[in-house]
Structure 1
Amino acid sequence: MDNKKFVWAFIPRASTYLGIILLLVIILTILEFWIGIVGFILFSFLVFYNIRLEYKKQNELTQYIEDLTFHVDTATKDTLLNFPLPFVVLELDGTIIWYNPPFRDIFGGKDLLEKTITSLVSELEPKKILDGQPKINKNILINQRNYNVLGNFVKAEKKSDKGEFILMLYLLDNTEFVELQKRYGDEKICIGLIIIDNYDDLMQSLEDALRPQLLAEIDKKLVGWMSHTGGIIKKFERDKYFFVFESKYLKEFEDKKYEILDLVKEISIGNKIPVTLSIGFGINGKTIIENFSYANACIDIALGRGGDHVVIRNGEAFSFYGGKTRELEKRTRVKARVIAYALRELIDQSPEVLIMGHENCDVDCLGGALGICRIVKNRGKNVHIVLNSSNPTIENLLAKIEKNPDYSGVFINSSEALDRINKKTLLIILDTHRPSFTESPELVKFTNQIVVIDHHRRGADYIQDAVLTYQETYASSTCELVTEILQYVEEKVHLKQLEAEALYAGIVVDTKNFTFKTGVRTFEAASFLRRQGVDTVSVKQLFQNDIETYINISNIVRNAEIISDRIAVSVCPQNVKNAQLISAQAADQLLSLLGIAAAFVLSVNGNVVVISGRSLGEINVQMILEKLGGGGHLSIAGAQLEGISIENAIEKLKCAIIEYTNEINSVNI
């Protein structure tokens, strides 16, 4: 039992003693009456004395408390009057009811009583800064000075007409700290790497005597661009520069939209192709070495996006600028041959190969998978293609594949793939470089042997630990890249007709019948496939639309809204079958209209709004949709917005278009 419960019994109390004495007097009276009477008289005296003593103590205690309250109130008033920090008392509507001299001095000694605090500082509206919190901590700028505003809401003794509470604020001048913090950020070291994208092609396009002059002109532009920073720029390879400067100048470069990208394009001393640069900046790493690694990663991303880009990594955040020029097709196939040899070695060393594309597989992805599947089968290795479900874009091709006994059991779902994969399994990822976009992102975590073959512009969340990456943004499609690899893996390659038609179909789809992103190597790849037995009529039949689909596409085109006389935006009606496929086809159809340079079509898939963007190349739809979390190519891109209505998605898209247009116009000015 807890002894603390009986502690009260041992506390000395006068009433307890008097009770004991009364009991003893009663007993004494019973035994000796007259002695008991004397006892009662003495007891009465003791009771009277105790009452008087208690009354006196109570008066002394009351007087002490009153004196203490007076001294505390006096000290409080004196503290408020002589408080060294700016202090103000407000009604809930912001009316100033009291302030001390330091607060008045902030505003030039003016009389501030009965004025509202918002008329002096708009950020200090009481209803906004309360935000459900009893205490306030806010940084504001007043007359070029920085203040940390602290305070809280206090219940008034007498309710005023304007509320039951008053707001008490005091201001801490932290200008020196803010300036020191800003100076610290400004003086951080930023590491930059600059690379001439098309160095080999530039040199080949010039006479020998003009090559030094071109390089000197590039050096002159770069040095002139960064000379005001007081930084260091050093050329450490024939086409690469190392750049060190203070971070505060990065904002100046950004304000001028990295004009160096356009300045070098103006260089013309006989070169047949324009000079373009890729620039990577690393900032806010823990060390200078980490900033350098950031810059290296940014260069990889810039080159993966086709060059003519500035990529900045600030901690974990990436920023992108540029990308207004088309990717230049590389003339030689040296890299394709090297990739083919390396891929052959990796296949030979692996016990099993898994091929995986992006989620919602398309014809380009499936055609490329069949091409790689043929390579692996010819090497005598076990191979499977990871595919969870069909969709309207591939159902015709997939139906033909499933009828062919050569591909019996080649398709497996994610669960089966997870059961088969191990550290030695070779995982070949096609038509995407982002783990989150793949058919089964979990597979990437279970193997160290990853190969990436893709033709999209690189994003910030690319697969960094791949043992082999073949990412060429100039290529029309993944099928084009796979077709080139096929020609170098073995001396004599024999494709089955279905495989050749699948690869050819992928090229046809991504080039819109050899219209967009079509180079010499695209036609060479198509020619090789044609020699392998492609039936062009059979390929054409894979993409035939029924009358209902054609009517839906026509309605989308008819209801399009034209923005800035050049950009079309339309919406696919809800409850339309194959909405995403129809939206993409409608966007392509809108580009056939006179004067339309870009088109966007939105569709709804569950709680996700899907945006398909297309352009003729003059407008970069990738940069527009990247503002909404999407990506793709300069002329073909897409985005998905979750948990948003179609109306809000349209507004977000329009804002992104306007923002992009303003950025382009400001650069051109």
Structure 2
Amino acid sequence: MKRRVWTVFPACLILAVLMIPMSAATFMYDKILGVVEMAITAIVVTAVFILALRFRNYIREVAQSAMNDCYSPSHKGLEAMKTPVAVCGTHGELIAYNAQFRKLFLDDYEGVNVHISPFIAELSPEDAVKRGSFDAEYGGKRFTVFGRETEHGMLFEFIDDTYYKNIADQYNDTKTSVALIVFDNIEDFSSDAEQEAAAAHLAAENLLYRWATKRNILLRRFGENRYIAIFEEAVLRQEMEQKFDLLDEIRAITYNGRPATLSIGVGHECTTLTDSASQARKALDMALGRGGDQVAVLTGSDYVFYGGVAKGVEKTSKVRVRAVSQEIAEAIEQAERVLITGHRYSDLDCIGAAAGMYALVTKKYNKDCHIVADINRTMASDMIARLSENRRDMFISPDSSMLLSGQRTLLFIVDTQSPDFIEADRVYKNCGNVIIIDHHRKMVNFIDNASVFLHEPSASSTCELVTEVVQYLADDVLSHTEAEALLAGIMLDTKNFVINTGVRTFEAAAFLRKKGADTVTVRNVFANSLENYRDKSLLVSSAQIVNHCAITVADDTTRNSRVVCAQAADDLLSIQDTYASFVISRIDAHTVNISARSFGKINVQLIMEALGGGGHQTMAAVQLKDVSLQEAKEQLVNVLKDVNILK
């Protein structure tokens, strides 16, 4: 209120000065009116005189208050403080500071219009005060700065803790981490019969040792093509900043057109070397489960991945599948009943693999078995109808399967490893034993309580793995319909034996052909209706190219959108200079799906993981919640503009 009075005081003073001559002039023409006006003028002059006295007292009071704020014993004043202190205005201009601040930051020179920002890590005064405390560096010294707002401005106190922060950095930089290293495919380079292969093997190993020597890393070999490395935090930080370019250097070494690849698992920020080695083992399993040629850094329960751009290395040996098959047989024999499920919106690979396991369980072991699938939400409805012709109870709904689940129930999960994607997630939680068969690269949130985990990311499809299991345990249980279901799954995931196809893929296909699979019948499974063909053509024709990636969006009028979108994604790969394709469609009112395909030059798994999804190097997907089709496209385009993901 006082400030408002002093604002109008000059106007009152001017008015009083002008009223005196005006009153005199009025008296000359009209004495009565002049007397009244003189009386009013006297009152105004008296009021102005009183205000002038009060204004002088107000100025004295403000000055005294400012002196008390700076020098009173209760605040001790800026000069009495033992640390550098400065006060700035709302725009960051320095208002006051003590001698310590002047000596450290102003070099004993009191400049004009000095701003506080260079001394508080280039933060604005408002942001600095909101933080309360923050770190800053100036003149080779390191400070912890405390900011607070006062009546007369924003006050900042600087605590010089350079020594302690340097000690902390030195401690953090010298903390040790453990890494486990393995050559993914060095056996292809280790043939004694080929001098060129042996030379490539030696070059890859020498490069690894030179890398360790250059980085001051303790590297020791502890098995065939396996190594353990111990290094300091500063080294790990540098490698992470350079995205482990060792992977690129190793990949440059080739033999017969095949690059050497390396997988590394790092245990990070552990209290002991033993814990770090244990974490490194988990990280290496994750790197290998994702196809190799990458580094997995495990901190607590969080993974960070680098690399993973090379194609998965095909394992020509079937020893592991044979051993796992025996474990599967024992689990089936001990179970009271068996349920088989896959991922939501099941496809031909999922249904085909489930049909193969169903034939094995019912015909070889005579166990009560059912496939849990939502037949109203599937992309393999025609195949389900064919399989169900003679077995009406072969497929049951997720709700019905709850009555059959229990501790004595064995649950097979095929073509997925994530608890978030399982068709019958409640059944999974209720079953006493779980077996997973999957070919997708390992996800961070994979199911980790399975008694058996048959996982080969180099396999073309889950149907290929199931076919091998059936071959080992009972090669006479498949009917021609079940064999065709398995062959259809293989053809789907290999794009008719074009991508991600190895020797074992053709061996499995030959076995299924021997069991009566008709290739013409299987080809008809992929036949399109005229309406679907038209919708697919519209999607392909409206595609947009971003960084050699084709993107198209299906509107809500697209029929059989999941089937049509998957087919459109495959067809988009036939466009010249297109390395990957993405089709965006709406699943329901709250969910948007992105289907991704590639021929392997671009790892679409990494792109989908950046959006929260996953899959395989050549086939992946993601479901985005509560976004529009355009927002989903913008998120995808932003990821595709990151060249580090596309490398």
Matching residue of 1:524? 507
The 1:277–1:559 alpha-carbon spacing in structure 2 relative to 1, beyond 3 Å, is: same
Contact persistence 2:354–2:371 (CA under 8 A): yes
Matching residue of 1:105? 103
Matching residue of 2:267? 282
The residue identity in structure 1 corresponding to 2:357 is I
Matching residue of 1:362? 347
Matching residue of 1:21? none
Aligned equivalents of 2:346, 2:335: Cα separation in 1: 25
Matching residue of 2:549? 567
Q: Render the CA deviation track for 1:396-455: whole Å, top value 9, x for unaligned.
A: 2223334x242x333334444444333342221111122222223344444452211111
1:303 aligns with 2:299: no
The 1:456–1:271 alpha-carbon spacing in structure 2 relative to 1, beyond 3 Å, is: same
Aligned length: 580
Q: Render the CA deviation track for 1:445-490: whole Å, top value 9, x for unaligned.
A: 4445221111111122222232222111121111111111111112
TM superposition score normalised by structure 1: 0.80
2:182 corresponds, among 166, 185, 195, to: 195
Aligned equivalents of 1:276, 1:543: Cα separation in 2: 36
Aligned equivalents of 1:441, 1:179: Cα separation in 2: 51
Contact persistence 1:621–1:636 (CA under 8 A): yes
Matching residue of 2:210? 224
Matches within 5 A, 1:296-445: 296-378=281-363, 379-402=365-388, 404-406=389-391, 408-445=392-429
Aligned equivalents of 1:208, 1:590: Cα separation in 2: 41
In structure 2, runs of 5+ residues without a counterpart are 1-63
Matching residue of 1:52? none
In structure 1, runs of 5+ residues without a counterpart are 1-65, 157-165
Q: Which moved more, 1:520-529 or 1:469-478?
A: 520-529
TM superposition score normalised by structure 2: 0.83
Matches within 5 A, 1:110-149: 110-111=109-110, 114-118=113-117, 121=120, 123-129=122-128, 136-149=132-145
The residue identity in structure 2 corresponding to 1:264 is I
2:453 corresponds, among 464, 469, 479, to: 469
Taking only the aligned residue pairs, the percentage that are identical comes to: 34
Contact persistence 2:337–2:369 (CA under 8 A): yes
SS at structure 2 position matched to 1:393: coil
The residue identity in structure 2 corresponding to 1:610 is N
Shift of 1:76: 4.2
Contact persistence 2:460–2:501 (CA under 8 A): yes
The 1:212–1:592 alpha-carbon spacing in structure 2 relative to 1, beyond 3 Å, is: closer
1:182 aligns with 2:178: no
1:540 aligns with 2:532: no
Shift of 1:554: 1.9
1:250 aligns with 2:236: yes
Aligned equivalents of 1:106, 1:585: Cα separation in 2: 68
RMSD of aligned Cα (Å):
2.8
SS at structure 2 position matched to 1:223: helix
Shift of 1:123: 4.1
The residue identity in structure 2 corresponding to 1:592 is S
Q: Which moved more, 1:444-453 or 1:467-476?
A: 444-453
Matches within 5 A, 1:261-280: 261-267=247-253, 273-280=258-265
Matching residue of 1:236? 222
Shift of 1:498: 2.3
Q: Render the CA deviation track for 1:38-68: whole Å, top value 9, x for unaligned.
A: xxxxxxxxxxxxxxxxxxxxxxxxxxxx9xx
The residue identity in structure 2 corresponding to 1:184 is Y
1:172 aligns with 2:159: yes
Matching residue of 1:642? 625
Aligned equivalents of 2:393, 2:558: Cα separation in 1: 33
Aligned equivalents of 1:77, 1:348: Cα separation in 2: 83
Q: Which moved more, 1:634-643 or 1:314-323?
A: 634-643
Aligned equivalents of 2:559, 2:163: Cα separation in 1: 63
Q: Render the CA deviation track for 1:241-299: whole Å, top value 9, x for unaligned.
A: 1111112101222233323223333445x667432211111111232222111111111
Shift of 1:361: 1.4
Q: Render the CA deviation track for 1:509-542: whole Å, top value 9, x for unaligned.
A: 1112222212222222222222222233333333
Matching residue of 1:152? 148
Q: Render the CA deviation track for 1:575-611: whole Å, top value 9, x for unaligned.
A: 4333333222222111111121112222233223322
The 1:289–1:414 alpha-carbon spacing in structure 2 relative to 1, beyond 3 Å, is: farther
Aligned equivalents of 2:416, 2:127: Cα separation in 1: 46
Q: Which moved more, 1:638-647 or 1:450-459?
A: 638-647
The 1:224–1:536 alpha-carbon spacing in structure 2 relative to 1, beyond 3 Å, is: same
Aligned equivalents of 1:148, 1:322: Cα separation in 2: 38
Matches within 5 A, 1:551-566: 551-564=534-547, 566=548
Contact persistence 1:104–1:112 (CA under 8 A): no
SS at structure 1 position matched to 2:259: coil
The residue identity in structure 1 corresponding to 2:173 is D
Q: Which moved more, 1:529-538 or 1:297-306?
A: 529-538
Matching residue of 2:7? none
The 1:477–1:122 alpha-carbon spacing in structure 2 relative to 1, beyond 3 Å, is: same
Contact persistence 1:625–1:656 (CA under 8 A): no
Contact persistence 1:189–1:288 (CA under 8 A): yes
The 1:119–1:234 alpha-carbon spacing in structure 2 relative to 1, beyond 3 Å, is: closer
Q: Which moved more, 1:316-325 or 1:420-429?
A: 420-429
Q: Which moved more, 1:86-95 or 1:227-236?
A: 86-95
Matching residue of 2:580? 598
Contact persistence 1:229–1:246 (CA under 8 A): no
Q: Render the CA deviation track for 1:538-594: whole Å, top value 9, x for unaligned.
A: 333333323332222222222222223x22222222343333332222221111111
Aligned equivalents of 1:370, 1:541: Cα separation in 2: 19
Contact persistence 1:355–1:429 (CA under 8 A): yes
1:84 corresponds, among 63, 82, 85, to: 82
Contact persistence 1:96–1:112 (CA under 8 A): no
Aligned equivalents of 2:616, 2:573: Cα separation in 1: 16
Aligned equivalents of 1:418, 1:145: Cα separation in 2: 66
Aligned equivalents of 1:180, 1:72: Cα separation in 2: 36
Q: Which moved more, 1:379-388 or 1:481-490?
A: 379-388
Contact persistence 1:392–1:578 (CA under 8 A): no
1:588 aligns with 2:574: no
The 1:285–1:122 alpha-carbon spacing in structure 2 relative to 1, beyond 3 Å, is: closer
Contact persistence 2:379–2:562 (CA under 8 A): no
Matches within 5 A, 1:10-29: none
Aligned equivalents of 1:369, 1:253: Cα separation in 2: 43
Aligned equivalents of 1:195, 1:419: Cα separation in 2: 46
Shift of 1:393: 0.9
The residue identity in structure 1 corresponding to 2:358 is C
Matching residue of 2:5? none
Contact persistence 2:176–2:233 (CA under 8 A): yes
Aligned equivalents of 2:320, 2:577: Cα separation in 1: 39
The 1:585–1:140 alpha-carbon spacing in structure 2 relative to 1, beyond 3 Å, is: farther
Aligned equivalents of 1:130, 1:70: Cα separation in 2: 24
Aligned equivalents of 1:623, 1:469: Cα separation in 2: 23
The residue identity in structure 1 corresponding to 2:423 is E
Contact persistence 2:265–2:280 (CA under 8 A): yes
Contact persistence 1:97–1:113 (CA under 8 A): no
